Amino acid sequence: MKLLLMHLLALFLILLHSCSQCAAYPGLDLEDLAFNNTRVITYSSSCSTTCGLGIRTQRLCPLGKENPADSPECIVRQVHCLDKWQCGLQTQTVYTGQYLELDCLEEVMKTMGRFAFAVSWHVARGIITTNNRFFKRYEVPGLDRVVLNPVKEEDGGTYRCDVLDTSYRRVKRMYKGIKVLSAQVMNLNFAEGLSEWEKPRESNVTVVTGKLYPSSTIRKVRLLSWPTSMFIAGIIFLGLFSFTFWKSLKRMNLKSLCC
């Protein structure tokens, strides 16, 4: 019962304090705001990043005046913005022995200072996923980035980074899927493979321009080819004639035997 009375008394004091503030600050109309040089946002750009902390440019002009964009009475400022903190999954294919760096803080966060955020890394070995059940804590000396030098086959998997601000509010989560291939396998990048094939290579083949043989040699080959062709054609003709004659003799012998 005493606890309930204490809660009711605290609620009454809060309402009384808010009412006293309302009485101390009466309502203001637009003319009063314009007289006090109140500025309003007339333009606001989109956030510089699709996820995580970014920068938005705003233009503020005095209230109640039609000021052009380049008016000296208007001021331009840059404020931090956060459209969404989930950056989704990004994949990358690397080869063993390469240098790989995974950076979690972008330029805007770096300008604010690396110690203005708390960065934690988790890894899911051997699988590309966004299911948080497969991730384990991954200790990173640099905190804001993961450096793999050199890349090994067991480094393949998904790396997740979480960024918290000083108020322990999550401002970014990024998944980075790393596919590691052996350096001896074929390059699966079609564009790079095509450029490799198109590169000029040294070969032992000698390219001959002009006539390969002199004209006298060609004339001799032509003169010898005609008799050779006629001789081969005569042999073929005699063979066919002999075969036909032998067939006819055999047929005549069969008829004489039958009679």
Residue 3 has pLDDT above 60, yes or no: no
Name the domain boundary from 66, 84, 102. 84
**Residue 134 lies in domain:** 86-182
Would 67 be classed as within a structural domain?
yes
Residue 106 has pLDDT above 90, yes or no: no
Residue 202, domain member (yes or no): no
pLDDT of amino acid 24: 44
The number of domains in the chain is: 2
Q: Binning pLDDT at 50, 70 and 90, where does residue 22 land?
A: very low
Q: Average pLDDT of 154-165?
A: 93
pLDDT per residue as tens digits for the range 37-53: 678 888 899 998 888 88
In the prediction, which pLDDT does 137 show? 94
Cα separation values, 3 from 9, 13, 16, 86, 253, Å: 10, 16, 20, 43, 139
79 with 93, same domain: the answer is no
pLDDT at 253: 77
The set of residues, in sequence order, having a beta carbon less than 8 Å from that of 66 and lying 6+ positions away, is: none
**pTM of the predicted protein model:** 0.55
- Would residue 90 count as lying in a domain? yes
- Single residue among 182, 200, 231 that ends a domain in this structure: 182
184-198 mean pLDDT: 65
At 23, is the pLDDT very low, low, confident or very high (cuts 50, 70, 90)?
very low
Q: 3 lies in a domain?
A: no
pLDDT at 10 over 80: no
CATH number, domain containing residue 137: 2.60.40.10
CA distance 140 to 148: 11
Asked if 82 and 53 count as a contact pair (C-beta separation under 8 A), the reply is: yes
Q: Is residue 237 part of a domain?
A: no
Q: Is the pLDDT of residue 124 over 50?
A: yes
Mean pLDDT of the chain: 78
